[in-house]
Amino acid sequence: MSSDKIKRLYELRESDPREAIELARDLDPGLGPEEREAAAVVLVDCGDAVGDFSSVSKGVEIFDELVASAGSHPGLSYNLANALQVRARLVHGPLSPISGKAFEDRFRARVQFGAVLRDGTASSELKSQALTNIGILLLDTSRWVEGLDCFQRALKVLPWNGVAAYQEMRHSMGLAGLFYRKHETYQTYCHIDTLLQRIRQLADVVISNQEAIIDFSGREALRTVIDAAKDAAKIEPIPRKLIENSYFEFIDAEALALSICCSAEEYQAGRFDLLTVPSIRAKKSDGHGVPEVTCPLRVPRS
């Protein structure tokens, strides 16, 4: 595959995904690893755009072959993980968080994203993207509290990661809604005023880093993201009191509290580990495995 053909592939990825898929499928077995990786990226991205499961699977197959033949590097690990994540979203069949093909793909994706995080040669941008995608993988199986942790970590690695800020912002908004609708159940999850201020801060990050959103998620995602951020930015800012105790300051900085958002007053009163689990449900047909922790937080995808 010539450099001109690679350039053409990427141009078609933006303008005509279906034609890009046809071009990427026309693979020469003698292609070098860089050309094969480029074709696989296009198969996955365009397959995701048009809902073509077979193209995404072909991309996964190529990435697996590249890893088996030449070993991995941070970019390849990330691309394979992304492909597996996309296939899990499109897969036909069982979607259980504890069994089925989607579960296997999500698990493999997290392993590959983890390889990116452990690689000392990976850039901050790639590590932050990997953390963001791990958070989304956790959300896909209702593990949204862990997902929020990943988005926060992604922002620590790359403070202008607007995608991580948006994901944390919109799911925190969902939690705020639950707090008001079912206060008795969710009052231990967070201090609502502190949570609202966090949402307000995240909205500023999103609005100020639109180019990062385009780079990470594409221009088509920008409008929905910005509209949501503008709504969140209407929250009236309230200065947060400083946490004076160094131990509590450490707990807050490392996100070790069980409460998702704590105020300085709550830390001082020792109310930062009161999180409760509403319910754990399992059916007889589920078989052996860890039962899913059920939480009704459901925020529509953008």
Between CA 66 and CA 37 the distance in angstroms is: 8
Q: Is 292 helix (H, G, I), strand (E, B) or coil?
A: strand
Among left, alpha and beta (phi > 0; psi -120 to 50; other), residue 262 is beta
Confidence at residue 289, expressed as pLDDT on a 0 to 100 scale:
61
| Residue 138 CB contacts under 8 Å (≥ 6 apart), including other chains | 144, 146, 147, 150
Cα torsion angle, 155, 139, 76, 25, sign: negative
Confidence at residue 2, expressed as pLDDT on a 0 to 100 scale:
55
pTM: 0.82
By the 8 A CB rule, do 252 and 58 touch? no
Between CA 212 and CA 118 the distance in angstroms is: 23
| Residue 47 CB contacts under 8 Å (≥ 6 apart), including other chains | 21, 53, 54, 55, 56, 58, 59, 86, 90
Confidence at residue 3, expressed as pLDDT on a 0 to 100 scale:
67
Confidence at residue 278, expressed as pLDDT on a 0 to 100 scale:
63
Q: Which strand (E) or helix (H) includes residue 138?
A: helix 124-140
By the 8 A CB rule, do 47 and 55 touch? yes
Report residue 93 CA to chain centroid gap: 22
Confidence at residue 276, expressed as pLDDT on a 0 to 100 scale:
63
By the 8 A CB rule, do 82 and 132 touch? no
By the 8 A CB rule, do 301 and 166 touch? no
Confidence at residue 60, expressed as pLDDT on a 0 to 100 scale:
95
Residue ranges of domains in the chain: 160-302
pLDDT 10s digit of each residue in the chain, 302 long? Answer: 456 777 777 787 878 889 889 888 876 666 788 888 889 999 999 999 899 999 999 999 999 999 998 788 999 999 999 999 999 988 754 445 445 688 889 999 999 999 999 999 999 999 999 999 999 999 888 888 899 999 999 999 999 999 999 999 999 999 999 899 988 878 878 889 999 999 999 999 999 999 988 888 778 788 889 999 999 999 998 888 899 899 999 999 888 888 888 899 989 888 887 666 666 667 777 766 655 554 444 333 33
Between CA 154 and CA 128 the distance in angstroms is: 4
Between CA 297 and CA 23 the distance in angstroms is: 41
- For residue 161 the two structure tokens come to 């990661």
Confidence at residue 94, expressed as pLDDT on a 0 to 100 scale:
46
By the 8 A CB rule, do 43 and 9 touch? no
